Amino acid sequence: MDAGLGRWPRCAGALTAGGLLAAAAAGSAAAAEPALLDAARGVPLPPDCGAFQGAVWMLLALLALQSTAVGFLCWRLRRRRQAEEQLRAGEERFRLLVESSQVASYLIDRDGAIHYANRALCAMFGYQQQDVVGKLGLSSLIAPDDLQRVLENSRQRLDGLPAPSRYEAGGVHRNGEPIDLEITGSSASLGGSALLAGSLLDVSRLKRAESLLSQERAQREEMTRNLEERIREEVDRSREKDRLMLQQSRFAAMGEMIGNIAHQWRQPLNKLGIVLQRLQMEQENGELTETLMEQRVGDGMGLLLGLSRTIDDFRNFFRPEAAPEPFSLAGAVVKTVRFFEASCADYHIRIVIEGDSSLIYNGHVVEFRQALLNILNNARDAHLERGGADPSITVGLRDEEHRCVLTVRDNAGGVDPAIIDKIFDPYFTTRGMGNRTGIGLYMAKTIIDQQMQGRIMVRNMLDGAEFRIVL
């Protein structure tokens, strides 16, 4: 009894707690068994109620199990709802992203049927979304000439075969206008079917800019070609002009030289005349012995030889050599001065040659002589114009830091400073129209600069001008 009584309170205590739980969880079971309710309320039960007690326990366990299972199902349900909501939110985000993207995106199958096209794609081609998806194929968007190639590329990518992942093709707007497209695509699988996910970029503006650029480039190249052609023509024309001017200047120099030859001939011709007159007088006076005759003939022949040599020198003076050759600068100066000095003799202009006589230069001696003659002629002309006392022209030759330097200096008062910067220009002269051409110094500069790779400069000294040629 005590033992039984001793168990009840425990049993009752346990029932009280479990019973409250069970009662809260399953009210119907408590209604069906009032005894259980008594037990739950802590009403003592008769001591011989073992089987009943077991059944109560069993029932309570079942009820607890049921409640746990219900809780578990509720938890599963909640998790599933959460997952669905997350999925929906993810899908929404993804849709938002694709739909608001500026890149036109699509999904097509291997026949080119469009399974999905985003807003940007529809806007690009001028369609409403509902008119495109499931209704149009690539043939409505791609230019007929390129359609086959685009489909072929798409299929090859779907089949995992090598195909360009980015290429260009022509598209057609709904209104028929062409669109330049850049297409990228990669294979995807949706619901078990293979689809090609692609994107399109409208590169029409880029293409137009490119074509404008290449047109401009072509125009520029054309202009450059024309310019080069014109420059070539101008250079040829200028060369031809220089050649003609050189010839003109040479003719002018030759004209002067003929004048000089006339000067040079006058003296020997006079002498020859005297020899002949003497011969006649000696013959009339009976003084003409054989020896005297030989002497007079010798004198005459000597003078004639001199005249002939002058003609030969003149011929050689302007005879151009084919190739540049080393020549003695002093030799060229002496030869030029020999021709030139005859034209100075009447005006008592002194000509001095001084300096280093060993200088050798490799070039065209004829042209060098012509340049020098033009400078000498100017110095003489300046003396004739100004008419100062003790007129002189000094030609100097020096080696300065391994460069040959030739100076022509006069004491005729110098070049007017107002025009000194222009005297090498073609056709610049202060010596009266018709009389002079004004190309003497231009030719001298052209020869020195271009043919002898030298430099020619002018400066005024105390009493005259100095022309300086550096070779």
Residues at the site binding Mg ion, with contacts judged by CB under 5 A: 378, 440
**Residue 313 interacting partner from Mg ion, ligand ATP, none (CB closer than 5 to 8 Å by kind):** none
**146, 177 in Cβ contact below 8 A?**
no
306: its two tokens: 């001199």
In the complex, least distance from residue 321 CB atom to ligand ATP, rounded to whole angstroms: 24
288 by Cβ neighbours in 10 Å (0-12 / 13-18 / 19+) ranks as middle
Q: Which residues pair with 470 in a beta bridge?
A: 405, 455
Cα atoms found within 13 Å of the Cα of residue 463, Cβ hemisphere only: 13
Per-residue string for binding with ligand ATP, 405-434, x by CB under 6 A? -----x-x--x-------x----xxxx---
Count other Cβ atoms within 10 Å, centred on residue 465: 22
> Does residue 468 interact with ligand ATP by CB under 6 A?
no
> Does residue 379 interact with ligand ATP by CB under 6 A?
yes
**Residue 33 interacting partner from ligand ATP, Mg ion, none (CB closer than 5 to 8 Å by kind):** none
**Residue 336 interacting partner from Mg ion, ligand ATP, none (CB closer than 5 to 8 Å by kind):** none
Q: Which residue's CB comes closest to Mg ion? A: 440
| One residue of 174, 207, 278, 436 binding ligand ATP per CB under 6 A | 436
**35, 25 in Cβ contact below 8 A?**
no
Total residues contacting ligand ATP by CB under 6 A comes to 22
> Does residue 242 interact with ligand ATP by CB under 6 A?
no
> Does residue 108 interact with ligand ATP by CB under 6 A?
no
Interaction residues for ligand ATP, span 149-188 (CB under 6 A): none
Of 309, 317, 363, the closest CA to residue 340 belongs to: 317
In the complex, least distance from residue 339 CB atom to ligand ATP, rounded to whole angstroms: 16
In the complex, least distance from residue 305 CB atom to Mg ion, rounded to whole angstroms: 33
130/127 Cα distance (integer angstroms):
8
In the complex, least distance from residue 410 CB atom to Mg ion, rounded to whole angstroms: 13
Residue identified by tokens 């030298």 is 454
Nearer to Mg ion, 260 or 378 (CB): 378
**Residue 198 interacting partner from ligand ATP, Mg ion, none (CB closer than 5 to 8 Å by kind):** none
314/326 Cα distance (integer angstroms):
21
150 by Cβ neighbours in 10 Å (0-12 / 13-18 / 19+) ranks as buried
Interaction residues for ligand ATP, span 243-262 (CB under 6 A): 252
Q: Which residues, 6+ apart, have CB-to-CB distance to 291 below 8 Å?
A: none
- CB environment 266-287: b (16+ within 10 A), e (fewer): eebeeebeebeeebeeeeeeee
Nearer to ligand ATP, 34 or 432 (CB): 432
Nearer to ligand ATP, 306 or 396 (CB): 396
**Residue 119 interacting partner from Mg ion, ligand ATP, none (CB closer than 5 to 8 Å by kind):** none
In the complex, least distance from residue 310 CB atom to ligand ATP, rounded to whole angstroms: 23
In the complex, least distance from residue 371 CB atom to Mg ion, rounded to whole angstroms: 11
> Does residue 395 interact with ligand ATP by CB under 6 A?
no
**Residue 412 interacting partner from ligand ATP, Mg ion, none (CB closer than 5 to 8 Å by kind):** ligand ATP
Nearer to ligand ATP, 141 or 444 (CB): 444
Strands 392-400 and 350-355 come out as parallel
Q: Which residue's CB comes closest to ligand ATP? A: 440
Nearer to ligand ATP, 210 or 421 (CB): 421
Q: Using CB under 6 A as the criterion, which residues of the chain lie in contact with ligand ATP when the complex forms?
A: 252, 374, 378-379, 381-382, 410, 412, 415, 423, 428-431, 436-442, 465
